[in-house]
């Protein structure tokens, strides 16, 4: 079930205050001075505040990865476990901290920026609780964590984790080995590599557990869901067909273009395709607008990502921000324009390149792209992709 705004705010407030309280209590339990405790708390307040700001911004912009906005409690619970772990780590040798797991896990259930901010906050807690302010340790785990976040954030429904695992674990082992060798003023011996090896093995086991859970709870579940709703014979689309064959086939053609464009631009093609299929679904309740579309989508419990795109597209009070919404806007306009011209003259020989250029020019001049995350390069690529579909447009006659 979709989480409401009150629940989201409560989780964010809880993350902030629990982080500050746990850090303060841990500092006192470790016997740190009042000066060190105050210094720790000031740093954690700033870092936690930044994390909460990034979380709130990500929710507003719809940039959480893998549909995490629908189940953000998973991130909150995971963060709580890692917070408790971060205050225990100082009892262990610094070479054995599995922070790579923390960075990657928080990214999987949030996004890149949230993971970097939140995991770095936890890393700061562990480092400052040691009482040594070991900058090298912080930089080492921060660097490995960021690399892990970047590599694992590229996962898609194919879920190929072999190469990201190999690169991140290999890099972590190398960095830890270098640190051990540089910090010990004696001849190199095999024992120096024991902690790095144990660290890598622990990270590997924990990452495999997290990735296994993630794949079954999100990747495959989401894949199956989108396979169902992006089926032209889906019950809701069948209802649309029974209500209006014209709108049904318009949705089919729009979804086709959305899918083609999104795949070429490396966007979320499943969400973009769903936007194409259901952007006219509001007519089942009367007029095709956001209010009616929302009623239908809530009745059938459609994913939040689909709702977000359609809200941006159909609600005149919303700014178009997501790239997938821009794809839907262009695809719908191109299909509508060509269909209209063929209805006037089914034998007309249209200049598709000229028509596509006119569509982009008109939309750009209207200011609809002003707040979107789409780049000029991606818009040009969209023009190219649409121009390559000339044979398909003949099906609209």
Q: For the chain, how far is it from start to end, CA to CA, in angstroms?
A: 42
User: Which conformational region is residue 111 in: left (phi greater than 0), alpha (psi within -120 to 50 degrees), or beta?
Assistant: beta
Give the model's pLDDT for residue 9.
Answer: 81
pTM of the entire structure? 0.66
Give the tokens for residue 72.
């953000």
Give the model's pLDDT for residue 190.
Answer: 66
Give the model's pLDDT for residue 19.
Answer: 95
Name the residue ranges covered by the structural domains of the chain.
5-222, 232-396
Distance from C-alpha of 302 to C-alpha of 278, rounded to nearest angstrom: 10
Say if CB 303 and CB 311 are below 8 A apart. no
Give the model's pLDDT for residue 67.
Answer: 67
Question: Would you say how long the chain is, in residues?
Answer: 397
Give the model's pLDDT for residue 59.
Answer: 82
Could you please state the CATH topology (level 3) that the domain comprising 232-396 is classified under: Hypothetical protein af1432 (1.10.3210)
**Burial label, 257 (beta-carbon count in 10 A; 0-12, 13-18, 19+):** buried
Distance from C-alpha of 32 to C-alpha of 40, rounded to nearest angstrom: 10
Return the HEC string of the chain.
CCCCHHHHHHHHHHHHHHHHHHHHHHHHHCCCCHHHHHHHHHHHHHHHHHHHHHHHHHHHHCCCHHHHHHHHHHHHHHHHHHHHHHHHHHHCCHHHCCHHHHHHHHHHCCCHHHHHHHHHHHHHHHHHHCCCCCHHHHHHHHHHHHHHHHHHCCCCCCCCCHHHHHHHHHHHHHHHHHHHHHHCCCCCCHHHHHHHHHHHHHHHHHHHHHHHHHHHHHHHHHHHHHHHHCCCCCHHHHHHHHHCHHHHHHHHHHHHHHHHHHHHCCCCHHHHHHHHHHCCHHHHHCCCCHHHHHHHHHHCCCCHHHHHHHHHHHCCCCCCCCHHHHHHHHHHHHHHHHHHHHHHCCCCCCCHHHHHHHHHHHHHHCCCCCCCCCCHHHHHHHHHHHHCCHHHHHHHC
Give the model's pLDDT for residue 1.
Answer: 40
Give the model's pLDDT for residue 186.
Answer: 55
Count the Cβ atoms, other than its own, within 10 Å of residue 261. Answer: 27
Q: Digits of tens for pLDDT over the chain (397 positions)?
A: 444 667 778 888 999 999 999 999 999 999 999 999 999 999 999 999 999 999 988 887 777 877 677 678 889 999 999 999 999 999 988 888 999 999 999 998 888 999 999 999 999 999 999 876 578 889 889 999 999 999 888 776 556 778 888 888 988 888 888 776 665 555 566 666 787 888 889 999 999 998 888 877 776 666 777 888 999 999 999 999 999 999 999 999 999 999 999 999 988 888 999 999 999 999 999 888 999 999 999 888 888 788 889 999 999 889 999 999 999 999 999 999 999 999 888 888 889 999 999 999 999 999 888 889 899 999 999 999 999 998 888 888 7
Count the Cβ atoms, other than its own, within 10 Å of residue 222. Answer: 18
């Amino acid at each position: 079930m979709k989480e409401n705004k009150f629940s989201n705010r409560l989780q964010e407030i809880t993350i902030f205050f629990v982080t500050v309280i746990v850090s303060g209590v841990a500092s006192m339990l470790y016997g740190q001075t009042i000066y060190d405790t105050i210094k720790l708390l000031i740093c954690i307040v700033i870092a936690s505040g930044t994390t909460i700001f990034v979380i709130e911004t990500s929710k507003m912009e719809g940039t959480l990865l893998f549909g995490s906005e629908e189940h953000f409690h998973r991130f909150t619970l995971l963060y709580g476990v890692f917070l408790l772990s971060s205050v225990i780590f100082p009892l262990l040798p610094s070479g054995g901290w599995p922070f790579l797991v923390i960075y990657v896990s928080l990214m999987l259930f949030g996004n890149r920026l949230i993971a970097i901010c939140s995991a770095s906050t936890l890393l700061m807690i562990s480092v400052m609780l040691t009482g040594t302010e070991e900058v090298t340790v912080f930089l080492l785990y921060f660097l490995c964590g960021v690399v892990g976040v970047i590599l694992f954030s590229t996962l898609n429904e194919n879920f190929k984790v072999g190469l990201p695992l190999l690169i991140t674990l290999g890099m972590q082992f190398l960095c830890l080995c270098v640190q051990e060798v540089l910090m010990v003023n004696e001849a190199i011996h095999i024992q120096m590599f024991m902690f790095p090896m144990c660290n890598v093995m622990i990270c590997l086991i924990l990452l495999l557990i997290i990735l296994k859970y993630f794949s079954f709870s999100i990747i495959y579940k989401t894949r199956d869901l989108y396979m169902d709703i992006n089926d032209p014979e889906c019950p809701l689309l069948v209802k649309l067909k029974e209500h209006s064959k014209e709108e049904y086939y318009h949705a089919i053609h729009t979804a086709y273009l959305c899918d083609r464009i999104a795949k070429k631009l490396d966007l979320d093609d499943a969400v973009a395709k769903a936007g194409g299929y259901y952007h006219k679904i509001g007519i089942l309740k009367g007029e095709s607008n956001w209010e009616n579309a929302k009623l239908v989508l809530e009745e059938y419990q459609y994913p939040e990502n689909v709702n977000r795109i359609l809200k941006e597209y159909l609600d005149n009070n919303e700014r178009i921000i997501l790239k997938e919404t821009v794809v839907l806007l262009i695809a719908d306009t191109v299909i509508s324009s060509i269909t209209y011209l063929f209805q006037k003259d089914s034998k007309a020989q249209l200049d598709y390149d000229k028509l596509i250029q006119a569509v982009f020019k008109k939309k750009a001049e209207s200011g609809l792209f002003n707040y979107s995350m789409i780049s000029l390069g991606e818009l040009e690529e969209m023009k190219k992709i649409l121009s390559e579909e000339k044979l398909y447009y003949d099906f609209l006659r």
